[in-house]
Amino acid sequence: MSARVTAVVLAAGAGTRMKSSRAKVLHEIGGRSLVAHALTAVRDVGAATTVTVVGHDREQVSAAVTDLDPTIVQVVQEEQRGTGHAVQVALDALAEEPEGTVLVTYADVPLLTGQTLSELVLTHRHAQNAVTILSAEVTDPTGYGRIVRDESGAVQAIREHKDASDAERALREINSGVLAVDAAFLARAVGALETSNAQGELYLTDVVAKAVAEGRPVGAHVLEDVWQTEGVNDRLQLARLGAELNRRTLEHWMREGVTIIDPATTWIDSAVSLEADATVLPGTQLLGATSVASGATIGPDTTLRNVEVGAGATVVRTHGSDAVVGPDATVGPFAYLRPGTELGAGGKIGTFVETKNAHIGDGAKVPHLSYVGDAEVGEGSNIGAGTIVANYDGVHKHRTVVGKHARTGSDNVFVAPVTIGDGAFTGAGTTVRDDVPPGALAVSAGEQRIIEGWVQRKRPDTASARAAAEANDEEPPR
């Protein structure tokens, strides 16, 4: 038997119960669309060709599939006449007759793993079956196709719920919908399907009885892990499977040596990666392609999307996206890292600091209450508390460059474009409008003026006036 696998992913259904303008299979759990979960599992099987059958919302679904993998063959099923028809349409779209095994799976079953699919294909090939069903024993089989076996336990047929007798409806072994089928047999069998059933559809599942009638071996691979067979039809199932996927993801990372203090309030997307001895504190969401290196601590109450966190770094109560936090750097509490933020090794982005498109060098610090946008801060520099980089003149964004080992004062405004040289200083309250040469001190605030007795004259009979009088040893004003 040829080891070649052709995968067919069915994604033409309407998904009406989602009540969404977005195609059902484009809804996400674990930061990945349902169809992407399905295609990721299929990819792990190493299929020579993958065909996705689209129909409802085909523009949306097609675009997403192309995005994921442009080599996937896409075929449109204009009218949804049943799963057998969908497979027929898929086979018709192939340039050559498939050989080996055809693996049929659904785009809306997100917990199904590549490992399970591979095991199904192996079992199928090993037994030299015409059809091998991925089945499961469930407590409530309502709605599913039932696996009908004879007295010896040999699979005879799949009976759809709507076509089943009462005795058959009592069967709790169900068809997950995933089948491995001998390619040559399938090509023949789908051509001979009929619509003489309760739904007037071409049932793919009828190929089982056909194989049995031809005396071909048929089997079922019973999956213990029932979650993997569950599909998403509405938003309740989406949330339920999303929570289970998250539980599995957390369990995986804990087994890999990551400390997760509170799994109940921690969410980690499927594409996130963490190294052993990373620590995740309660209330943390690690999303997208975020990565966390060894010894880093994230949280509590932190959301990071596509953020790379270096070894030993600490990120506390922070919201960040598309950013890099260097090794041993510290961020937060209450920091907002916007796209393009890059913090160097041992650097600091502190409390109530917002950064955007900002490179903050090794050991450089922006500790308090600042906005740093479109800027470069050289290594070892310290930006004073309350500094605002005025990067936007209302029309264009401009860059600010601070050299290395600079010390800028509190409550500064850097009016971009402007450059502050290496080792330069600025005084408190400075508005930097022009470049500061290396090693210079810039001050822009005028000299302080003292107007003696102003409060007594202008604010008599106030607590301030009385306090001033007392301090100055004067008669309290009347």
Site for ligand UD1 in 140-199 (CB under 6 A): 144-145, 158, 160, 174-177
Which residue type is seen at 82?
A: G
CA angle 419, 397, 310 (to 5 degrees): 75
Q: Which two tokens stand for residue 255?
A: 């087994």
Looking at the Cβ atoms of 29 and 287, the one nearer to ligand UD1 is 29
What is the residue-wise DSSP string for 404-441? TT-B--SS-EEESSEEE-TT-EE-TT-EE-S-B-TT-E
- Smallest distance from ligand UD1 to CB 202, Å: 8
Q: Segment near ligand UD1 (CB under 6 A), from 82-90, 209-217, 347-355, 366-374? A: 82-90
Is the CB of residue 223 less than 8 Å from the CB of residue 137? no
Looking at the Cβ atoms of 23 and 245, the one nearer to ligand UD1 is 23
Looking at the Cβ atoms of 82 and 380, the one nearer to ligand UD1 is 82
Q: Segment near ligand UD1 (CB under 6 A), from 201-209, 257-265, 367-375, 408-416? A: 201-209
- Smallest distance from ligand UD1 to CB 207, Å: 10
Looking at the Cβ atoms of 9 and 353, the one nearer to ligand UD1 is 9
**Rounded to a whole number, what is the distance in angstroms from the first to the last CA of the chain?**
109
Measured in degrees and rounded to the nearest 5, phi and psi for residue 376 equal -125, 130
- Smallest distance from ligand UD1 to CB 306, Å: 30
* Residue carrying the six token digits 């997100």: 110
Looking at the Cβ atoms of 85 and 356, the one nearer to ligand UD1 is 85
Site for ligand UD1 in 6-45 (CB under 6 A): 10-13
**Residues 209-243: b if buried by 16+ CB within 10 A, e if exposed:** bbbbeeebbbbbbebeeebbbbbbbeeebbeebbe
Looking at the Cβ atoms of 149 and 319, the one nearer to ligand UD1 is 149
Which residue type is seen at 58?
A: R
Other Cβ atoms within 10 Å of 253 Cβ, number: 23
Site string for ligand UD1, 221-260 (x = CB under 6 A): ----------x-----------------------------
Looking at the Cβ atoms of 56 and 338, the one nearer to ligand UD1 is 56
Is the CB of residue 317 less than 8 Å from the CB of residue 301? yes
Question: 53: which DSSP letter?
Answer: E
Is the CB of residue 245 less than 8 Å from the CB of residue 239? no
Measured in degrees and rounded to the nearest 5, phi and psi for residue 60 equal -60, -50
- Smallest distance from ligand UD1 to CB 195, Å: 11
CA diameter of the chain: 116
CB half-sphere exposure, 209, CA atoms < 13 A? 14
Strand partners, 298: 280, 315
- Cα radius of gyration rounded to whole Å, the chain: 33
Helices (H), 136-199: 166-169, 183-191
Pick from 134, 204, 209, 442 the residue near ligand UD1 by CB under 6 A: 204
Site string for ligand UD1, 292-331 (x = CB under 6 A): ----------------------------------------
Pick from 129, 132, 205, 426 the residue near ligand UD1 by CB under 6 A: 205
Is 85 annotated as catalytic? no
Looking at the Cβ atoms of 22 and 126, the one nearer to ligand UD1 is 22
Site for ligand UD1 in 101-120 (CB under 6 A): 106-108
Looking at the Cβ atoms of 233 and 444, the one nearer to ligand UD1 is 233
Pairing of strands 267-268, 259-260: unpaired
Site string for ligand UD1, 333-372 (x = CB under 6 A): ----------------------------------------
Q: Does 207 engage in binding with ligand UD1 (CB under 6 A)?
A: no
Distance, CA of 178 to CA of 114 (rounded, Å): 12
Which residue type is seen at 396?
A: H
Pick from 33, 77, 330, 400 the residue near ligand UD1 by CB under 6 A: 77
Strand partners, 49: 6
- Smallest distance from ligand UD1 to CB 244, Å: 17
Site for ligand UD1 in 422-461 (CB under 6 A): none
Q: Does 203 engage in binding with ligand UD1 (CB under 6 A)?
A: yes
Nearest alpha carbon to residue 305 among 289, 294, 317: 289
- Smallest distance from ligand UD1 to CB 105, Å: 9
Pick from 60, 62, 80, 195 the residue near ligand UD1 by CB under 6 A: 80
Catalytic residue among 56, 368, 398, 405, which? Answer: 368
Active-site residues, by number, are 368
Report the interface residues with ligand UD1, using CB under 6 A.
10-13, 53, 55, 77, 80-83, 85-86, 106-108, 144-145, 158, 160, 174-177, 203-205, 231
